[in-house]
């Protein structure tokens, strides 16, 4: 068995280790080859079963000539099947856990996505592909897509699944999210003795929303950034619970620390830094729907 270097398993042409040596195949190419070889083996298996069924029928009725003919054909088909399965070995010549951990898989996945016209962006050890968030789990030979384990690792299959996810409508409760955003904002404004309509960093609001133990693992900054984009995209700036209106603030923070990044369906990066809420006048507050209704 030829040993394959993990670092060389990238989409496209890998650099040969020795001048004139063939380039190492990609993970996608290995799986494609395995698929074709298995199809050949399956045809041999079907031919073997077909001839054995003929032999069985001939034996049951006593058609000896047909029995001998079918058994000979079954033997030939079985030999072809043995030869076909012998070439299959144990599958792709690489350790998928090592490949996921090496960075080679990500490179190949990004290249496959680009070829399909799909944009995937790397951000803080996650892969962003609107509306999905992907995390590699090498120890489990799997990928988490929006916290759901996915073991289908073939790049073309994963890219197709991500493309279908983009075509589906995203379920997002803009009003409920905005109410949570405003509540955290008001808590920070009060605690930090800011103006009632002062700008607050979104990263600090995320800190309030995830202040309980374990919540940051359940709701990452990247998920928060995606939800901010969905809110922005929805156009909702106030809810029935409060007449205070959301205002986005880019400031100079979009160029420095504290900026939250996500991607739009087009693949364009969206950056969010801070927000504020207008101060409602007394008349508007009186007409607002009470909380909990």
229-270 per-position pLDDT tens digit: 999 999 999 999 998 999 999 865 455 678 999 999 888 889
> With the CA atoms of 228, 233, 239 and 243 taken in that order, what torsion angle do they form, in degrees rounded to the nearest 10?
90
Mean pLDDT of the chain: 85
Answer yes or no: is 100 within a domain: yes
Answer yes or no: is 91 within a domain: no
The model carries a pTM of 0.75
Rounded Cα gap, residues 81 and 190, in angstroms: 75
User: pLDDT over 90 for what percent of the chain?
Assistant: 67
- Same structural domain for residues 12 and 78? yes
- Same structural domain for residues 154 and 223? no
Domain boundary among 86, 113, 128: 86
pLDDT in tens, 188-228: 999 888 889 999 999 999 999 999 888 888 899 999 999 99
Q: Which residues pair with 110 in a beta bridge?
A: none
Query: Over 70: is that where the pLDDT of 42 sits?
Result: yes
Question: Helices 104-115 and 27-61, interaxial angle, to 10°?
Answer: 80
Answer yes or no: is 218 within a domain: yes
Query: Over 80: is that where the pLDDT of 39 sits?
Result: yes
- Same structural domain for residues 185 and 156? no
Rounded Cα gap, residues 73 and 50, in angstroms: 10
Q: What is the pLDDT of residue 14?
A: 41
Answer yes or no: is 292 within a domain: no
- Same structural domain for residues 258 and 191? yes
Answer yes or no: is 242 within a domain: yes
Residue of higher predicted confidence among 24 and 284:
24
Pairing of strands 260-263, 142-145: unpaired
Return all residues near 165 (Cβ < 8 A) that are at least 6 apart.
Answer: 129, 131, 132
Q: By residue range, what is the domain housing residue 156?
A: 96-167
User: Please, which pLDDT band fits residue 22 given cuts at 50, 70 and 90?
Assistant: low
User: Please, which pLDDT band fits residue 290 given cuts at 50, 70 and 90?
Assistant: very low
Return all residues near 209 (Cβ < 8 A) that are at least 6 apart.
Answer: 180, 184, 215, 219, 224
- Same structural domain for residues 270 and 180? yes
Q: What is the pLDDT of residue 90?
A: 67
Answer yes or no: is 293 within a domain: no
Answer yes or no: is 1 within a domain: no
Please tell me the total count of domains within the chain: 3
């Amino acid at each position: 068995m030829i040993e394959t270097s993990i670092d060389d398993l990238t989409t496209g042409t890998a650099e040969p280790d020795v001048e004139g040596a063939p380039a190492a195949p990609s993970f996608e190419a290995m799986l494609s080859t395995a698929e074709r070889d298995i199809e050949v083996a399956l045809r041999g298996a079907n031919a073997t079963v077909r001839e054995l069924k003929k032999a069985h029928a001939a034996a049951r009725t006593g058609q000896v000539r047909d029995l001998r003919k079918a058994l000979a054909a079954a033997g030939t088909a079985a030999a072809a099947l043995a030869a076909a399965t012998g070439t299959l070995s144990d599958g792709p010549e690489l350790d998928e856990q090592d490949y996921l951990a090496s960075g080679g898989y990500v490179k190949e996945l990004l290249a496959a996505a680009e070829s399909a016209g799909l944009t995937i962006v790397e951000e803080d050890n996650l892969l962003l592909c609107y509306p999905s968030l992907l995390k590699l789990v090498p120890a489990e030979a799997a990928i988490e897509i929006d916290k759901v384990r996915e073991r289908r690792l073939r790049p073309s299959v994963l890219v197709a699944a991500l493309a279908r996810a983009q075509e589906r409508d995203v379920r997002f409760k803009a009003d409920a999210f905005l109410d949570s955003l405003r509540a955290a904002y008001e808590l920070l404004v009060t605690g930090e003795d800011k103006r009632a309509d002062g700008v607050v960093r979104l990263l600090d609001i995320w800190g309030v929303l995830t202040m309980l133990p374990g919540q940051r693992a359940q709701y990452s900054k990247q998920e928060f950034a995606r939800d901010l984009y969905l809110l922005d995209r929805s156009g909702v700036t106030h809810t029935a619970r409060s007449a205070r209106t959301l205002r986005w603030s880019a400031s100079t923070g979009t160029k420095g620390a504290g900026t939250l990044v996500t991607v739009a369906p087009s693949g364009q990066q969206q950056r969010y830094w801070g927000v504020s809420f207008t101060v409602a006048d007394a008349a508007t507050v009186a007409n607002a729907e009470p909380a909990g209704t």
